[in-house]
Amino acid sequence: MSGYPDTYYSRTLNDAARRPALEKNLSADVVIVGGGLAGLTAGYELARAGRSVVILEAHQVGWGASGRNGGFVGPGFATGHSNIARMVGEERARALHRLSIEGVEIVKDNLLKFAHDDNPQVYGKLSVLRYHDPDGLARQRDVLARDFGYDVSVLPTEAVRALLRTSKYYQALYDPACFHFHPLNYARSLATAIEASGGRIFEGSPAVAYDPSAGRKTIRTKNGSVSARDVVFAGGGYTDSLVPAIRRSLLPIATYVLLTDDAKGRIEDAVRTPMAISDNRRAGDYYRLVDGGRRLLWGGRITTRTTEPRRLARMMRGTMVSTYPQLEGVEVDVAWTGLMAYPRHLMPLIGQLEPGAWYVTGFGGRGMNTTAIGGRVVAEGILGRTDRYRMFEPFGLAWNGGPFGVAAAQLTYWHYQMTDRIKERRAASRTER
Ligand SMILES: Cc1cc2nc3c(=O)[nH]c(=O)nc-3n(C[C@H](O)[C@H](O)[C@H](O)COP(=O)(O)OP(=O)(O)OC[C@H]3O[C@@H](n4cnc5c(N)ncnc54)[C@H](O)[C@@H]3O)c2cc1C
């Protein structure tokens, strides 16, 4: 029995073996708190550079957001380019976007190196509009080609609707370099690769105390401790108050996914492509076929309420059927929630609390590529190879606003939902006229 929540991914694991808990006092070069993709990527980069690494995970590796997400891997951050440029200027925003493209390459390379056969990738992503705006998409395409040499194309409405049988969609941006995969199998294969390079991973080992006082940093669990020159905090949306300054800088935001029952024929008839699909609403829908097209994996919605809603499956099915009414009656096999970590500025938190005490978190809803770059730049910093982690200095540990921050985030989301609906209604009435 694995200790993972019941999800599509935990049902289709390559291996579910558990690792032991920490029961003694150890010494290492680096101790990492959190076995999600941020902690695992940092651990992998450090272990293969010859550092002794210990990872402490409260549950099992990939138990958090990293093992229960949509599995979409593409460039970008949890907030858009214009917002980033407003905070740091156009040139630095472009450098950050290039780094986010590197994040996709890191995942691709790692999959090639150690998980190729176990984790098939399906290439291609359609970002669909829920209103008519071919010119806006053409502008985005041109900017990506001009500034980043990144090729995407615009699909007209007829082509989109031939693939996705819904009248809700208009044009789409087609990105052939994005892909989707099995994130939990990837996390577990990273863990195996770390161990193959001499790293040690302890599961069921929540870090309960942090002591930076004696020069070396010490992390304690219930029955053991690790002292190290460097410590990396990578607790994502599950970050507790081990280091209050990090916890205070994050808002845990919940989001939901469902897996439908096997409905061969009906599902393939509605969604006629194996590519990753997402719509253009803020926190909109994203989905993809799984099990050879017999089922849909559908994600969407965000909330500051971190407990599971009572009628989660019904609520998510309603979201799916509102886009594809022909899927009325297709039942939900399993639905689940996951927590993402959102800083107030919506950009990753990557840096040092003090020399040797690193944090790498706050990836929001765009974590597959950004945890890869976060893990890598922190490892480069620890190894003294680059100071690329400083690219994230402008986005510091800003207070999340406490209960006011939670309320403000929920209000902002509702406001976004409302403005998205108004935009769609206006577009629909323009089309009818
Ligand atoms: C439902 C959902 C769908 C998503 N879809 C996508 C997508 O399709 N594409 C994309 O790019 N991003 C997606 N995301 C976002 C992405 O999954 C996250 O940004 C990313 O996985 C965060 O990784 P992480 O390592 O920072 O955190 P996590 O994966 O949450 O890992 C943190 C780990 O730290 C552990 N931990 C916390 N505190 C302690 C402690 N004190 N001691 C020991 N261990 C501790 C936790 O148990 C956890 O395992 C999605 C997120 C969710 C929830």
Residue 56: what pLDDT?
98
Residue 369: what pLDDT?
98
Q: Kindly state the average pLDDT of the residues 80-106.
A: 96
pTM over 0.85: yes
With cut-offs at 50, 70 and 90, classify the pLDDT of residue 283. Answer: confident
Q: Which residues line ligand 1 (CB under 6 A)?
A: 33-39, 56-59, 63-66, 68-72, 206-207, 234-240, 242, 255, 257, 299, 338, 340, 361, 363-368, 371
Q: What ligand 1 atom has the least distance to the C-alpha of 208?
A: 41
Residue 69: what pLDDT?
97
Distance CA 7, CA 67 (A): 9
Q: Which of 57, 184, 221 to mutate to test the pocket of ligand 1 (most atoms within 8 A of CB)?
A: 57
* DSSP state letters, 312-351: HHHHHHHHHHHH-GGGTTPPEEEEEEEEEEE-TTSS-EEE
Dist. CA 66 → ligand 1 center (Å): 4
Q: Is 161 exposed, middle or buried (0-12, 13-18, 19+ CB in 10 A)?
A: middle
Mean pLDDT (the chain) is 93
Contact criterion met (CB below 8 Å) for 123 and 177: yes
With cut-offs at 50, 70 and 90, classify the pLDDT of residue 427. Answer: low
Q: Kindly state the average pLDDT of the residues 173-188.
A: 97
Taking the alpha carbons of 422, 427, 432, 433 in that order, is the dihedral positive or negative? positive
Residue whose Cα lies nearest atom 21 of ligand 1: it is 66
With cut-offs at 50, 70 and 90, classify the pLDDT of residue 314. Answer: confident
CA 244 → CA 173, 209, 240, 310, 388, distances in Å?
A: 41, 11, 8, 31, 25
Q: Summarize pLDDT for 148-160 with one digit per residue, the tens.
A: 999 999 999 999 9
Residue corresponding to tokens 């406001």 = 415
Domains parsed from the chain with CATH numbers: 1-119+181-250+343-400 (3.50.50.60), 122-178+254-342+401-433 (3.30.9.10)
Residue 244, pLDDT > 70, answer yes
Query: What's 281's DSSP letter?
Result: S
